Structure 1
Amino acid sequence: MNVKRTKKPETRVDVRYLSSLGIKTYGADNLYPQTVRDIVESSPTGRTCVERRSTYIEGNGLFSQALSDCVCDTKGSTVDDVHHLCAEDMAYYDGFALHVNYNILGQIVSVAHVPFENCRLEEEDDDGVIGHVVVHPDWRGRKTRGGKAVKVGLETIEVFPVFNPSPEVVQSQIQAAGGIEFYKGQILYSTKAGRLTYPLPLVDVVLTDMSTDEGLSNVNNRNVRNNFLAAGMLVTKRGQSSGSDEEGSGSSDDGFTEEFEKLQGDTNSLNIMHAEIETDEDKPEFVPFKTNNYDKEFTATTASVTDNIYAAFNQETFGRLRKGSIGFTGELAADVKREYCEQVCKQQRMLSRAYRTIFSHWEPNAIPYTGAGDVAVEPLVKSIADHATPD
């Protein structure tokens, strides 16, 4: 079929201009990253894959343990804490944001993680330049402070210049702010899509599958918790005994002769319903019930959805290990982990480049930074060459 005749796909992320705040929206409702996280965290398979990706991107931390242990912001966070949060944002969004601040000399003195979903980009100027990143603690407007919701508006957003460590630029910004005590610093906004561009994260391609995965979990839950699981129904003539009391009089127990029992769910499964009738029956009749179990109805869908999610994250081998379709040995598991370490090398390099740019402009002698090797991310599983015995 000619490409012109194929059905046109919908735009994955609508970017519009929000004039009231001077920003480009991230999604038609400006809540694309928030929606992505909600969908991922509602999908058992999706969340497992994203958390594994985050773990591998984080690796064993930075190569310099001394640098990792340094406190790097006013809240007491260490470099390792910042790295952990950035790795999680990379796993979810393929992007991260860092806030940096300077001293009067234009030297960096602090770096802090900024949740990626809290950042929005300013509209381009006439020269196509984006000069600021706009931050709000909750673009949904649900977050509260002092018992009051932090609504989205000009009075609740913070506007930061984009990262530029040039001392001349920093000092001019300090002067424009009215002095170092009023200067709020800069935001380093980095994504796989390029500089100051909203990314289309890896998870986007399987958001539909993740939503289906959540629905399948709901069906399984309701099948167990709410399905009609009665063993059968005992039919007797009205007044005929269905059991004996303690004195053997044959009178019915009030609890047993209730017209309807609660017969739904796992805790009430295999109960017997008792029903009294008016017609003359010679003896009680037991009518067995055929219950419907919906587990098998969705077996193919469950397998397809799970496979699609694992494939999107390049974690097919983990999925096969989970299902037991390939043998499981310690050596095989190590090979699978080493292979996935290679899958996240690009994300680790993005983080390392950002750290190198920041720490190379840090206040001299304030932290134990000696060079680019300090901020390289150590893989979670070392390569075979790393384990080789030297000659």
Structure 2
Amino acid sequence: MKTLLIEVWKRLTPWNKSADVYANDTDNAYPERMDRLINNSVTAKSAATIMVQYLIGKGYGTEVDPLIINKEQNLKLIDFADDVADDLVKQRGVFIHVNWNALYQISDFSVIPFEWCRIGKTDSNDYTGKIAVCKEWLKPKKSDIQLIDVFNPRKKVIDAQVEKAGGWEHYKGQVLFVNMDTKLLYPLSRIDSVAEDCDSEAQASIYKNRLLRKGFFGNTLVVTRPLVGDGLEPGSTALMDAESERERFQQAIKDSLGAQNTGGVLCLEMDFAGEKLEDAILIKQIESKIDDKLFNYTETSVRENILVAFNNLPAGLLKTNEASLFGNSGEAIREMKRTYWENTTKERYLLTAVINGLLERSQDYSTLKIEPLKLINNAETNNTE
């Protein structure tokens, strides 16, 4: 017996000698590719937006008194939380740049775009000491790659890093890397298993658009007997008169169909049998070739797969225009919200732990601790809040 092995595509993380980093896939473009697939899929993009909102809830601070955690960038805590949640939702990992002051307190922190970051060389204990940051990894130049120490709050470590940098004024700070796939060098994107579905949804939209814009859909086909007879001498007056008559006839056909159809008229000449008018000219409308049933099945199937990838997001939270969902005082919608709140618990607590871990070491908010909202039952209204 022979066993047929089917090669399944796998994201690899090979060592890139030219850049001295571990590549994120063989082309070192995995994060960018996943982000592009999400943005091209209306379902994935909408699902990501909803999931982020379920992680950050109503936010932190108020419009009147916002919590500023990076004065140089005027970055609010809610904006920082949104950036962290966005990367946790899409890439299942996040890189956070942290600056320290001479009192070993965090002076500020902000998210570095996930696609800019790669892991540097590891030692014999598989410890990585540097995170490489570059805006373009396709063909990066050494001069464009910035190496920053990994996050380590120990005073001895910070002192050694500051001394090596040549003083606090030259110190670049550290990078905290949060990886939800602890067994992998880089996390797999949330849509890794449904990447083809995201692409299918995008391609279906492109196909229909091209068919409507450049295909034969909506065109009018006009078939007539030959308007220019055989046997006319090339360049003769008779031939030029016949061709001119053909152009006037075709233009008259287009004008009679309306200005909006000017670019959608196809004129074809061929021999007909018979002497009746209907045997001499045929006008036919070309129907659409879009199979609505097939597209509806395909789009529904890929949409369901994508929603499952986003922690089984209920379809009703993505599209709530069905009257039945609002029946029974909206209990169906409330149940969907309760269910999805529970489905996103892990990510919400991770986001909370990351933020609190930074705040407790910060120079301005060391006493501040945030907690995720809890679902409670309001006895007065009998509603879950």
Residues 1:201 and 2:189 are matched in the alignment: yes
**1:17 partner amino acid:** W
**2:261 partner amino acid:** N
In structure 1, stretches of 5+ residues that fail to align are 142-151, 240-250
Residue range with higher mean Cα deviation, 183-192 or 121-130: 121-130
Residues 1:375 and 2:375 are matched in the alignment: no
- TM-score (norm. length: structure 2): 0.80
Alignment of 1:1-391 (within 5 A): 5=3, 7-62=5-60, 69-140=67-138, 152-194=140-182, 197-228=185-216, 229-233=218-222, 235=224, 238=227, 257-258=250-251, 268=261, 273=266, 281-283=275-277, 284-296=280-292, 297-315=294-312, 317-318=314-315, 322=319, 327-329=324-326, 330-363=330-363, 366-367=364-365, 369-371=366-368, 374-378=369-373, 383-385=375-377, 387-389=378-380
Greater helix fraction, Structure 1 or Structure 2? 2
- TM-score (norm. length: structure 1): 0.79
Q: What is the CA distance between 1:164 and its match in structure 2? A: 0.9
Q: What is the CA distance between 1:162 and its match in structure 2? A: 0.9
Q: What is the CA distance between 1:273 and its match in structure 2? A: 4.9
Q: What is the CA distance between 1:26 and its match in structure 2? A: 0.6
Q: How many residues align?
A: 355
**2:163 partner amino acid:** Q
Cα distance in structure 2, aligned partners of 1:355 and 1:67: 19
Higher relative contact order (CA 8 A, sep 6+): 1
Give the direction of change, closer, same or farther, for the CA distance of 1:55–1:260 in structure 2 (3 Å limit): farther
**2:222 partner amino acid:** M
Give the direction of change, closer, same or farther, for the CA distance of 1:256–1:200 in structure 2 (3 Å limit): same
- Asked if 1 retains the 8 angstrom alpha-carbon contact of 2:13 and 2:185, the reply is no
- Asked if 1 retains the 8 angstrom alpha-carbon contact of 2:34 and 2:189, the reply is no
Q: What is the CA distance between 1:68 and its match in structure 2? A: 5.3
Cα distance in structure 2, aligned partners of 1:201 and 1:88: 12
User: Which whole-Å deviations, capped at 9, do the CAs of 1:58-79 have from their partners, x for residues lacking one?
Assistant: 2222379899522424221112
Cα distance in structure 1, aligned partners of 2:224 and 2:103: 91
Cα distance in structure 2, aligned partners of 1:178 and 1:91: 38
Cα distance in structure 2, aligned partners of 1:171 and 1:64: 37
- Asked if 2 retains the 8 angstrom alpha-carbon contact of 1:231 and 1:270, the reply is no
In structure 2, stretches of 5+ residues that fail to align are 229-243
Q: What is the CA distance between 1:336 and its match in structure 2? A: 0.9
Q: What is the CA distance between 1:227 and its match in structure 2? A: 2.9
- Asked if 2 retains the 8 angstrom alpha-carbon contact of 1:121 and 1:196, the reply is no
Q: What is the CA distance between 1:100 and its match in structure 2? A: 0.7
Q: What is the CA distance between 1:125 and its match in structure 2? A: 0.8
Q: What is the CA distance between 1:362 and its match in structure 2? A: 1.6
- Asked if 1 retains the 8 angstrom alpha-carbon contact of 2:81 and 2:355, the reply is no
- Asked if 1 retains the 8 angstrom alpha-carbon contact of 2:105 and 2:362, the reply is yes
In structure 2, the residue corresponding to 1:85 is in which secondary structure? helix
In structure 1, the residue corresponding to 2:99 is in which secondary structure? strand
Q: Percent identity?
A: 25
Q: What is the CA distance between 1:54 and its match in structure 2? A: 2.1
**2:39 partner amino acid:** E
- Asked if 2 retains the 8 angstrom alpha-carbon contact of 1:63 and 1:375, the reply is no
Cα distance in structure 1, aligned partners of 2:113 and 2:253: 53
